[in-house]
Structure 1
Amino acid sequence: MKQRIRIHKAEPNTGVLNYSHLLDAPAGKHGFVEAKKGHLYFEDGTRARFLGFNVAARSNTPDHETADRMAERFASMGVNIIRLHAADAPVGEEPGSWSSCKEAPLLDYASGTSRKFNPDGLDRFDYFAAKLKEKGIYLHIDLIVARKFEEGDGMEYPGGAPSCIKRYCLYNQRMIELQKEYAKELLCHVNPYTGLALIDDPAVVTIQINNEDTAIKGNMGDDAGEEMKPYRAEVQERFNDFLLMKYHTREHLEEAWTKDGCCALGEEEDPARGTVRGIEGSFYQPVSDPEGEWDAPEGPARYADFMEFGIYMNRKFYQDMKDYIHFLGAKVPVVTSNLIAGAADVYGHTDGDLMENNSYFNHPLLPVENNTYLVAGPMEYVSTNPLTMQTGVGSAATTLLSLGSLAIVKGKPFMLSEWNEYGEHPFHSTAFVQMAAYACLNDWDGLILYNHHTSENWDDQPADEILNVFDVYNDPAVICQWGFMVSVFLKGLVSVAKNCVDVVYTQNDLKTLPLFHAMPTTFFPYITSMRNVFLDGGDKYQGNADIAVNAGFLNGADLSDAEHGVYYAWSEYRDAFRCYKEENRLENAVKDTKEIQPGVHLGEKALVFDRIRETSGNGDYRTFAEIMDSAMKEWGILPEDTGYVEGRLISDTKEIVFDPDHARFSIHTPYCGYFSGAPEEEISLSDKICVEAENERITLALIAKDEIKMDGASEYILTAMGTTGMDETTFGKGPELMGIPFAAVEFKGKLYAETLEGCIRVKAENAKLEVLNPIGEVIAEMNGEKTGDEIRFAMDGSVPGIQYRLVVGE
């Protein structure tokens, strides 16, 4: 039953929903965070894991009362990290907008430059950081995100540069100087409330050089307005200088870019005149078929050289900035950037001490009109099959885990610094716990959800309306599951995978990107742990994973030293320029194997696909998963009842089951029980507790108080919700863009959550059930009926609560 509820962004949790016991205040008491053994640790050797929120733009400079209230609220939720994100944003007039507040921005844009701090804004920023630290909440600091460069900044070209520009800040020397200046002023300024500069404060987890940026982001066209023409010309000039350095003359370049009489270099293009065009792109690294048309706009030769150039520019910039930050005195890991999803782009960001990525599902198109959002779908996450993720709307349907996993690198800690499944679909609670569970399985180090709120005041956003879908402070699907999520992730209540898969890239692989490059991430991280390996000294893999899978963009990786190797190739050549065919690699790999189906060979150590294009089809990877599952079981890596079983993805720990064909996701461990999706006749959450739900969709989360094992507990916290959102939201037909139909979702009405209808069954002599509001206050007590050896609580959905305290006695 739909019931209206309210969730205030600044009211602290109480009672059993107070998770502040998960924090160890003050932040920094265990020493500085270090990156070692592929994870984050504190100086005293304690493993460090983080789960928290972004607070963006104007929310970085709250007034002191708001800072006090928000720190208390976050602590009561068990939040142990806040990303102070986009504090450099320009000033905006609209309350709640993605901009700095006019009253106290961090940067004093009114001075005509972006080089000075506003004293009031800096004081607020310092006070907020100090209050978070006091509560045991760590800080993620980013540098350049939304800064608007003013003409008074001493720019090389007239007109300044707008907020949130991408790519050019990695190229232009004056912008680089200004970034270093900002880093020094922000990080080395002593906070009067802590007595420490950020550079010396162990409450800081990491320093991020920039946000969602890369040398190959955007395109070579008119992507940022008239004032950016000189900056675009500079990128063009740099690329042409790179080509001259590599080829020396146009004639040599023309020869390299010619294949079978077809030349990819236009007659008007000459690197000496700076007229050779780069590769067009967008928010992600564009794809390029290694067997595609030679003279296509993103043809193999042009693409290969631009990726090589982009890697060089990324690494040049990030290594310089990292060195500078360490020169300032940084004692914590430095991260390069996030939102990286292609092989060249990921490799170009590996100079950081840890890796980060951003991952979204049902992300609306921008700009937003009033409270109407355009979204492809929207799609229900619990029924989105990762093994068919690349069909239809492509990256818009990419699952959170699949997209995020593209940036995991062996030997480096990993965090998702931004992620969300936005609530345009009325049932969207699955994604949040699913992400936390798979982060445990893959042994990640942090998850930072975007975005808690965008406001400088504690009382200026409603508790009973969603006015901005990007702010999750009152999204029941997030907030009412947060305690379960934070317990699961920070306490490791879902087990780490028993096995590990390495996806192996050669240096040649970095110069192309097949359309279906994400195939491994649609399967492996759902059943075991997965990481990426980039070979720098030759093509031979020498790692220690249970399975090494070559990325296979080009035909070169040598996996002969792997425990088990999986071989395929999207191209018959070793190189992107199609000069050198590799006729022996796959042929040698099939020795001592048997053909288990046409073109697929399996042996004691190797699985070989002769024609991976046929196996991958049009992005439907279920055949690949079936074959891979059979091989892993033949090798004794997966038990028979795990892996890919009748369409279900079952972790090698047997704790996580994802059944997208039937819209079901579940977790069963000694410490927690979870179910989300289309209800079965009886949903077992533990040996003692099961639920019968009449809702069309239901999410159920059960955990024992204080995170102890459930079989010995007498007190539990249960969450039960169906659909959520605004009760008058409309779903209309939007435009068709790029051949993709979009929906127009308009949020109207008041906040609601659908309550459980059915019954809760408890095996016990006696039991008490209390219905809680979202901050843990008791709003009703339910009477149970004794039937045999169990007590049944009939739930008609009439009480407006979706969280419960269950006390069980013998």
Structure 2
Amino acid sequence: MNVRQKFRIHKAESNKGVLDFSHLLDAPAGKHGFVESRNGHFYFEDGTRARFIGFNVAARSNTPDHVTADKMAERFASMGVNIIRLHAADGPIGDEPGSWSSCREAPLIDYESGSSRKFHKEGLDRFDYFAAKLKEKGIYLHIDLIVSREFMEADKLDYPGGAPSCIKRHAMYNERLIELQKEYAKALLHHVNPYTGLALIDDPAVVTVQINNEDSAIKWPMEADAGEQMKPYRDEVQKRFNEYLLMKYYTRERLKEAWTYEGVCALGEEEDPVQGTVRGVQGGFYQPENDPNGPWDGECGPARYADFMEFGISMNRKFYQMMKDYLHSIGVKVPIVTSNLIAGAADVYGHTDGDLMENNSYFNHPLLPVEGNTYLTVGPSEYVSTNPLTMQKGVGSMSTTLLSLGSVAIVGGKPFMLSEWNEYGLHPFHSTAFVHTIAYACLNDWDGLILYNHHTSENWDDQPADEVLNVFDVYNDPAVICQWGFLASVFLKGLVSTAKNLIDVVYTQNDLRTLPKFHSMPSTFFPYISATRNVFLDGGDAYQGHADIAVNAGFLNGADLRDAKHGVYYAWSEYRDAQRRFKEENRLTRAAKGTREIQAGVHLGEQAVVFDDIASIAGDGDYRAFAKLMDQAMKEWGVLPEGTGYVDGKLISDTGEMVFDPEHSRYTIHTPHCAYFSGAPEETILLSDKVSIQSRNERISISLLPVGEGGLKEAKEYVLTAMGVSGMDEAACSAGPEMMGMTFTAVEFKGKLYAETLEGVLCVKAKEAVLEILNPVGDVLAELNGEQAGEQVRFALNGEVPGVQYHLIIK
């Protein structure tokens, strides 16, 4: 076993020396004017391109005392954080320190008044002061409006009793709950912050206003959550769905006819839209899947599913269009986002009325709720050896990587941010995930990433520096904090190049009415190679975009890609429609005209590649054959240079800068401005022409960043980070329960915080060099003078100094 050193990372201690990354900020926030959405990206009013990287601070951490606000703003700035999402400030009061709730002493909403319609005087003052200190340091603000608000009986609701925290989907249907959201939005955004002299609507430090966190009219409005208390709200959704069916079909007989296929009727004998008894689709955390070729009369049968998706889209768009118009009417000037955590075609499309798109993406997320400091998860899986092309095999579409899951919500022409993301430290080697996600965000030209969650506390000194008491708080996770300066530098300075090519995944309106199990197949390959986005066709089925490649989503048999530079055709169903009334027997045949058959059922030509039967190639969730065929096509078209794409099991970006090799547990970045290696060490890890490492660690993540504005070649100083596994030194895994057809693992966090240090030899091409080993805030723990060996200086590292960050100076 390699050397594991005890670690201490305090959430409020600022970085110093070469680990002070405050130079990445341009204080004060807002100096370049309001953020605007232009040409699919964020720009400031003065024309400067804007990118944002930072943290969520959740619930009680939105109202820190003034001393804590000062310390946290200083800490964030020193890390290179330029955005903070003030998240879930509307949470109900909780007494447990560090809990995901507002503090009793100073909540933003004064719940103890008996209603949720008033601000707490001290809580509002703290919120204002924190926002002002962040702005002063050059840190921008992401504001959300409804996350975890608890509606009280005194709020004069339509039904007896209140509505518990996080029941946001019903607040998209019920008119009284909508009125209360408008009231809150106006009160929060119009309130003048005495420390800035500006209301949030007039403050250019605000990047975006989010209407609704993690919810949708599609996902689970029919679920029996909160018991009988929420039954009137569920009944309201049921009533509206039945009214929608009557509007569309007019009578039960016509609905019955539409829902009948080959003599089987999906409408139950007891169901009647006139009586309001037709069931909707039971949802879940994500938009539920639906097999377009599946059982006709199942609980999620094709006809019922199609109509419920149409209904959900209409309700999403009605609500979000109305709220967006309202926010503009009260003076909001920045881009408005609808919601996040969206992962199905209908759900994504139903959120496209926002000025930007956001998504949430997690890996090894624990099952909620948690018990103490024990967390249930599937796996946990090691990120660097997780193959996105095979991960869905036998599991399902949402079992995937941060990049793949995030990418399903990118929409052409709109900025994109991950508003929440994380790879929680349930697997001890999880450092790969953070740099991996940031670098691919550069490749795909994203606009922001906000990690969940830095800390959950209103005080600066009440969470330990050497223990993980809440896996959702990352303030002392070495894999996050010790790599953060590298992350921020890479993303804010664009040290990884944007892709050379653009790929559009194209959806017809029919594609929105079903969701095959393997619907996210394109996002498991294309974003690793080139920039990828989604395009929805609103008028007809013909794609008229300008991407280098257009891929039809292929749920149903419809998209016409003849005007694309290059088209990729396949279909999960032989029908054009979810009701299985209209077969499309000629589309793929027409698309294959002028091509040659490169293997049975796969046709390749100068403009198109056509898959006659995609299920035979990818229907079990293994997409390696699909990737290999796409690689061949893209290279014949001249879109991919040789040596990039899918090569010997490796995913290599079209820029050639990134290589992801999950089969050998390795991920690398090599650009003129930065280098990174993560995974199972090679004999010699080449970071640059000057710097290489021979590591004895079983797993290691190493980053190399020049100090100053120069590149790796000319630099004389570098910040180097090298760590193996990390976590709690007495953490234990045990067999958990079987649920939902999956076996869970119970991970218990106990002991003290540790990180595995580098063991091996650091080689530097130089006549003289000095290596300083640093603690997590930049203090020098030890200084080493290497041994001269020919044209190299060699530093022998035994892991005995408890530092994973280094300052390398070439003299």
Report the TM-score range of the alignment, normalised by the length of the smaller protein.
over 0.9
Match of 1:257 among 233, 256, 259: 259
CA distance in 2, matches of 1:166, 1:260: 39
Match of 2:533 among 521, 531, 534: 531
Task: Look up the match of 1:495.
Answer: 497
- Partner amino acid, structure 2, of 1:520: P
Task: Look up the match of 1:287.
Answer: 289
- Partner amino acid, structure 2, of 1:400: L
Match of 1:241 among 239, 243, 262: 243
Superposition pairs for residues 148-187 of structure 1, below 5 Å?
148-187=150-189
Match of 1:647 among 629, 646, 649: 649
CA distance in 2, matches of 1:190, 1:221: 40
Superposition pairs for residues 770-781 of structure 1, below 5 Å?
770-781=772-783
1:379 matched to 2:381:
yes
- Partner amino acid, structure 2, of 1:765: K
Helix, strand or coil for the counterpart of 2:78?
Answer: helix
Task: Look up the match of 1:406.
Answer: 408
Structure 1 residue 226: deviation in Å? Answer: 1.4
1:639–1:262 CA distance, 2 compared to 1 (3 A): same
Helix, strand or coil for the counterpart of 2:733?
Answer: strand
CA distance in 1, matches of 2:774, 2:517: 48
CA distance in 2, matches of 1:393, 1:626: 22
Helix, strand or coil for the counterpart of 2:370?
Answer: strand
TM-score of the two chains, using structure 1 as the length reference: 0.99
Match of 1:563 among 554, 562, 565: 565
Task: Look up the match of 1:113.
Answer: 115
Question: Residues 345-385 of structure 1, C-alpha deviation per residue, up to 9 Å, x if partnerless?
Answer: 00000000000000000000112111111111010000000
- Partner amino acid, structure 1, of 2:535: V
- Partner amino acid, structure 1, of 2:171: C
Helix, strand or coil for the counterpart of 1:367?
Answer: coil
1:130 matched to 2:132:
yes
Structure 1 residue 420: deviation in Å? Answer: 0.1
Task: Look up the match of 2:766.
Answer: 764
Superposition pairs for residues 160-559 of structure 1, below 5 Å?
160-218=162-220, 220-394=222-396, 397-559=399-561
- Partner amino acid, structure 1, of 2:301: G
1:392–1:697 CA distance, 2 compared to 1 (3 A): farther
Whether the 8 Å CA contact 1:57–1:85 is kept in 2: the answer is yes
Structure 1 residue 392: deviation in Å? Answer: 4.3
Q: Aligned Cα RMSD in Å?
A: 0.7
1:750 matched to 2:752:
yes
Structure 1 residue 396: deviation in Å? Answer: 6.1
Match of 1:100 among 81, 92, 102: 102
Helix, strand or coil for the counterpart of 1:356?
Answer: strand
TM-score of the two chains, using structure 2 as the length reference: 0.99
- Partner amino acid, structure 2, of 1:24: D
CA distance in 1, matches of 2:731, 2:396: 26
CA distance in 2, matches of 1:447, 1:386: 20
- Partner amino acid, structure 2, of 1:691: I
Task: Look up the match of 2:43.
Answer: 41
CA distance in 2, matches of 1:771, 1:793: 12
Match of 1:19 among 14, 18, 21: 21
The 10-residue stretch of structure 1 (193-202 or 739-748) with the greater mean CA deviation from structure 2 = 739-748
- Partner amino acid, structure 2, of 1:203: A
- Partner amino acid, structure 1, of 2:43: Y
Helix, strand or coil for the counterpart of 1:771?
Answer: strand
Structure 1 residue 762: deviation in Å? Answer: 0.3
Question: Residues 567-618 of structure 1, C-alpha deviation per residue, up to 9 Å, x if partnerless?
Answer: 0111111111111111121111010000000000000000000001001031
Task: Look up the match of 2:683.
Answer: 681
- Partner amino acid, structure 1, of 2:646: Y
CA distance in 1, matches of 2:774, 2:672: 25
CA distance in 2, matches of 1:193, 1:565: 55
Identity over the aligned pairs, expressed in percent? 76
Helix, strand or coil for the counterpart of 1:398?
Answer: coil
1:456–1:4 CA distance, 2 compared to 1 (3 A): same
Helix, strand or coil for the counterpart of 2:420?
Answer: strand
Whether the 8 Å CA contact 1:691–1:759 is kept in 2: the answer is yes
Whether the 8 Å CA contact 2:238–2:276 is kept in 1: the answer is yes
Task: Look up the match of 1:588.
Answer: 590
Question: Residues 155-201 of structure 1, C-alpha deviation per residue, up to 9 Å, x if partnerless?
Answer: 00011100011410110000000000000000000000000000000
Whether the 8 Å CA contact 1:217–1:284 is kept in 2: the answer is yes
Whether the 8 Å CA contact 2:147–2:168 is kept in 1: the answer is no
Task: Look up the match of 2:69.
Answer: 67
- Partner amino acid, structure 2, of 1:335: V
CA distance in 2, matches of 1:731, 1:376: 12
Helix, strand or coil for the counterpart of 2:76?
Answer: helix
CA distance in 2, matches of 1:579, 1:516: 23
Unpaired segments ≥5 residues, structure 1: none
Task: Look up the match of 1:658.
Answer: 660
Whether the 8 Å CA contact 2:397–2:519 is kept in 1: the answer is no
CA distance in 1, matches of 2:522, 2:619: 14
CA distance in 2, matches of 1:640, 1:169: 52
Unpaired segments ≥5 residues, structure 2: none
Task: Look up the match of 1:616.
Answer: 618
Whether the 8 Å CA contact 1:362–1:396 is kept in 2: the answer is no
Helix, strand or coil for the counterpart of 2:560?
Answer: coil
Whether the 8 Å CA contact 1:376–1:393 is kept in 2: the answer is no
CA distance in 2, matches of 1:645, 1:531: 23
CA distance in 2, matches of 1:787, 1:71: 45
Structure 1 residue 223: deviation in Å? Answer: 2.1
- Partner amino acid, structure 1, of 2:764: V
Structure 1 residue 213: deviation in Å? Answer: 0.7
